[in-house]
Amino acid sequence: MSAAKRPSASTPAPRSRRLAAACLTGALALGASAAAAVPAAAAPGHSPASSAAHRHPATAHAIPFTAATVTQQADGSFTLSWSAPGVRHVTVYAGRDQQHIQRRHAVAGGSGTTTVTVSGLGAADRWWFELVPDRGEPLTLADRSLHLASAPNFRDAGGYRTADGQWVRMGVLYRSGDLGKLSDADLAELRRLGVRTDIDFRTASERSASPDRVPAGARYVVADVLGDSLTSSLPATEAAGSQMMQDIERVMVSGDSAQQAYRALFDAAADHGADAVVYHCTAGKDRTGWASAALLTALGVPRETVMQDYLASNTYRAAENAAALAQLPEAMRPAYKALLDVRPEYLNAGFDEVSSTYGSFGDYLRQGLGLGQNELRDLRKQLLVG
């Protein structure tokens, strides 16, 4: 794809897309104000992470795990599943600090493909598990969700395997929805976990309505994805709502403000001297969803995995979405639900925009976000292990 097809700095997004983008954040003003928002929508809206050990270059020995997950259960126990072809035994150790997991006492073990339950670990901001195979390099993971009561879609952006067998680090990048409602306890936890940079993708009206709460001393970066706001009516049908969300997704690829915002995220993610970074919008699913999709794709994570991460917002936001829909007349729910959901066709519209405008994802990174080989190399060095 030639650079000539890149949208110019003076060319605005099509009006239909801008109207769609403007409608989005009004729809995401959830909770008690959901029903009131329906008639018209306002415009949208020294820590472990910074240690030298956490930022070391990838080792020469491959991590043998092809799949691995940690899931915290309601009773406080953890379910660990992994698959490591060719490995005969895996020993599991646990710790409250991923950089200082002691191998004195194993908490579990199993064969190369196993699911185990670990319980009785006690309280911690976050439990980390080191999976040590009998051959190859170990892998350290945690439950992706931080289980913050005031921010249910706050989760780790890492813990995924790339197509070439590396893994995206955990504890470095977090994705979230609105941080304006963080409780004091949750805010203190983020400070202890080393969150020192906050990238806010929201519009000016969203930021004014719900200012971020961030740990003291954290760097706050305004990276408005949608830019100038407009006012628009909400869609009347589910099909119209779905189309609106697809139009928004395309704006997040080709819009000038979006490209500047996502470049700011990539720069922060590649900064070897940075502490942990959180990036977010209002619901943590659309602007934040494309941010994660772009980052993971740039790191070599397969599209299927990228889609799974994107769709996980439906699970994390299930209670909030249900509460919002319950306040609406039944006839209005399908259209509104289309705005609250994330759906495969939404993310696919973004990737389609990449293909039609730039020809390839690599050209999107180079031409759209202005990332050169050095920047991409730094990004991968900082965020990949194995």
Secondary structure string (H, E, C) spanning 137-179: CCEEEECCECCECCECCCEECCCCECCCCCEECCCCEEEECCC
Residue 4, pLDDT above cutoff 70: no
Q: What percent of the chain has pLDDT over 70?
A: 83
Note whether 109 and 229 are same-domain residues.
no
Note whether 94 and 47 are same-domain residues.
no
Note whether 335 and 375 are same-domain residues.
yes
**Integer Cα distance of 321 and 340 in angstroms:** 6
Residue where one domain finishes, among candidates 136, 158, 181: 136
CA distances from 277 to 68, 140, 376 (A): 23, 19, 18
Residue 150 is assigned to a structural domain of this protein: no
Q: Could you list the active site residues?
A: 281
Note whether 83 and 202 are same-domain residues.
no
Note whether 255 and 110 are same-domain residues.
no
Note whether 9 and 101 are same-domain residues.
no
Cα angle 382, 384, 386 (rounded to 5 degrees) comes to 130
CATH assignment of the domain containing 378: 3.90.190.10
Average pLDDT over residues 353-364: 98
Q: What is the pLDDT of residue 33?
A: 45
**Integer Cα distance of 376 and 212 in angstroms:** 29
CATH assignment of the domain containing 88: 2.60.40
Residue 233, pLDDT above cutoff 80: no
Residue 152 is assigned to a structural domain of this protein: no
Residue where one domain finishes, among candidates 117, 136, 155: 136
Query: What residue type is 105 in one-letter code?
Result: H
Q: Where are the alpha helices (DSSP H) in 5-154?
A: 15-27, 34-37
Q: What percent of the chain has pLDDT over 90?
A: 80
Give the DSSP letter of residue 132: E
Note whether 234 and 291 are same-domain residues.
yes
Query: What residue type is 243 in one-letter code?
Result: Q
Three-state DSSP at 231 gives coil
**Integer Cα distance of 93 and 132 in angstroms:** 8
**Integer Cα distance of 138 and 313 in angstroms:** 29
Residue 146 is assigned to a structural domain of this protein: no
DSSP string, 254-322: H-HHHHHHHHHHHHHHH-TT--EEEEE-SSSSSHHHHHHHHHHHHTT--HHHHHHHHHHHHHHTHHHHH
Average pLDDT over residues 119-125: 95
Residue where one domain finishes, among candidates 114, 136, 158: 136
- Per residue in 61-117, pLDDT (tens digit) is 599 999 999 999 999 999 999 999 999 999 999 999 999 999 999 999 999 999 999
Q: What is the pLDDT of residue 272?
A: 80
Q: Domain of residue 103: give its range.
A: 67-136
Residue 157 is assigned to a structural domain of this protein: no
Residue 142 is assigned to a structural domain of this protein: no
Q: What is the pLDDT of residue 61?
A: 55
Backbone angles phi, psi at 130, to 5 degrees: -100, 120
Dihedral sign of CA atoms 83, 293, 304, 143 in order: positive
Note whether 286 and 311 are same-domain residues.
yes
Q: What is the pLDDT of residue 234?
A: 83
Question: How would you label 173-194 residue by residue, b for 16+ Cβ within 10 Å and e otherwise?
Answer: bbbbbbbbebeeebbebbbebb
Note whether 88 and 224 are same-domain residues.
no
Range ranked top by mean pLDDT from 16-25, 35-44, 58-67, 137-146: 137-146
Confidence of residue 27 (pLDDT cuts 50, 70, 90): low
Average pLDDT over residues 355-383: 97
Note whether 46 and 72 are same-domain residues.
no
Note whether 229 and 377 are same-domain residues.
yes
Question: How would you label 160-172 residue by residue, b for 16+ Cβ within 10 Å and e otherwise?
Answer: bbbeeebbbbbbb
Question: Which tops the pLDDT comparison, 293 or 39?
Answer: 293
Residue 35, pLDDT above cutoff 50: no
Residue 121, pLDDT above cutoff 80: yes
Residue 145 is assigned to a structural domain of this protein: no
Note whether 360 and 254 are same-domain residues.
yes
Q: What is the pLDDT of residue 72?
A: 97
**Integer Cα distance of 287 and 299 in angstroms:** 19
Average pLDDT over residues 361-383: 96
Q: What's the total number of domains in the chain?
A: 2
Q: Give the predicted TM-score (pTM) of the model.
A: 0.86
Three-state DSSP at 219 gives strand
Radius of gyration, alpha carbons of the chain: 21
Q: What is the 3-state secondary structure (H, E, C) of 179-191?
A: CCCCCHHHHHHHH
**Integer Cα distance of 304 and 32 in angstroms:** 35
Do 204 and 193 contact (CB within 8 A), yes or no? no
Dihedral sign of CA atoms 46, 52, 57, 62 in order: negative
Look at 150-154, 222-226, 229-233, 363-367 and tell me which has the smallest mean pLDDT: 229-233
**Integer Cα distance of 215 and 4 in angstroms:** 43
Residue 196 is assigned to a structural domain of this protein: yes
Residue 61 is assigned to a structural domain of this protein: no
Q: What is the pLDDT of residue 151?
A: 96
